[in-house]
Amino acid sequence: MPQAIRILGWGFIISFIGTLPLGTLSISAMQIAMTDGVPPAISFSLGAITAEMIYVRISLVAMSWVRSHEKFLKVLEWAAVVIVMGLAVSSFWSAMHPAVPKNVLLSATMHRGLLGLLMSAINPMQIPFWFGWSAVLFSKNILSPGFWNYNAYLFGIGAGTFIAHCLFMFGGRWLGEQLNSGHHYMNWAIGFIFFVTGIIQLIKIYTKKDAIHQLEHPEEVTGGLEKKIH
């Protein structure tokens, strides 16, 4: 198997599996698909993927700069908490006011692609995640420096994230259709997920298990799965 294809495959697998757990971006894409339609949700997803791929590129060539700017990561972490809590409040508001079923923050006038880009850009946890996995792939001689290798890696990551987002988008649409007029129940559930996500992020910040900690302990990102890669 050509090395570029192998790299693409690993990028896809890691990104797809890493996106499947409930997260702010995937849930946001799902909620946009439910209230505004699939095309705006796809635009949101592509914007989020663009920021993710930029972070991956940074993790490959400029990690020393990131390590020397810890205050920047701290600002991003607190901004992410504020955004997630705002999404939770907006979802709860929609749940309590069935006549306004849309999440105000996600259905604002901002272009969904730009919204996805900004929301993904303020998620600093992507940096240690991809730094850890890139380091593993380098150590296993799966990933090696090179223009085509890096591009294959980025394409695989983007494709994996997009397919995972599609599962949320179309799954959310299907579930919403099954519930018919029960969208406010979905808004309650989505609001709860956003709220719990924000609380978890706060706990990580106060217990120093945040992005900076994970940069210093990349093995915690991979969870020991790197031992199964050959």
The verdict on residue 230 lying in a domain is: no
The verdict on residue 20 lying in a domain is: yes
Choose between 138 and 106: higher pLDDT.
138
Query: Residue 127 and residue 212: Cα distance in Å, rounded?
Result: 9
Query: Residue 22 and residue 111: Cα distance in Å, rounded?
Result: 23
Residue-wise burial string across 68-94, b where 16 or more C-beta atoms lie within 10 A, e elsewhere: eeeeebeebbebbbebbbebbbbbbeb
H or E element, residue 99: none
Q: What is the DSSP letter of 209?
A: -
The verdict on residue 228 lying in a domain is: no
Q: Which of 47-51, 55-59, 68-72, 146-150 has the lowest mean pLDDT?
A: 68-72
Q: What percent of the chain has pLDDT over 70?
A: 76
Residues near 163 by beta carbon (within 8 Å), at least 6 away in sequence: 12, 16
The verdict on residue 27 lying in a domain is: yes
Query: What would the mean pLDDT of 25-35 be, rounded to a whole number?
Result: 87
The verdict on residue 89 lying in a domain is: yes
pLDDT at 74 over 90: no
Instruction: Classify residue 167 as exposed, middle or buried by CB count within 10 Å of its CB (0-12, 13-18, 19+).
Output: middle
State pLDDT tens for residues 209-227: 655 555 555 555 555 555 5
The verdict on residue 227 lying in a domain is: no
Q: Which of 66-80, 85-99, 137-151, 215-229 has the lowest mean pLDDT?
A: 215-229
Query: For residue 144, what are its two tokens?
Result: 């090696």
Give CA torsion, residues 68, 71, 75, 77, to 10 deg.
70
Q: Which of 22, 3, 38 is nearest to 145 (CA)?
A: 3
Give CA torsion, residues 46, 47, 49, 54, to 10 deg.
140
pLDDT at 54 over 80: yes
pLDDT at 99 over 70: no
Query: Residue 39 and residue 112: Cα distance in Å, rounded?
Result: 9
The verdict on residue 196 lying in a domain is: yes
Identify the domain containing residue 198 by its residue range. 3-222
Choose between 197 and 40: higher pLDDT.
40
Q: Which of 122, 159, 131 is nearest to 221 (CA)?
A: 131
Under 8 Å between Cβ of 119 and 28: yes
The pLDDT value given to residue 57? 86
Choose between 169 and 229: higher pLDDT.
169
Under 8 Å between Cβ of 111 and 43: yes
Domain count, the chain: 1
Give residue 161's pLDDT band: very low, low, confident or very high (50, 70, 90): very high
Give residue 21's pLDDT band: very low, low, confident or very high (50, 70, 90): confident
The verdict on residue 229 lying in a domain is: no
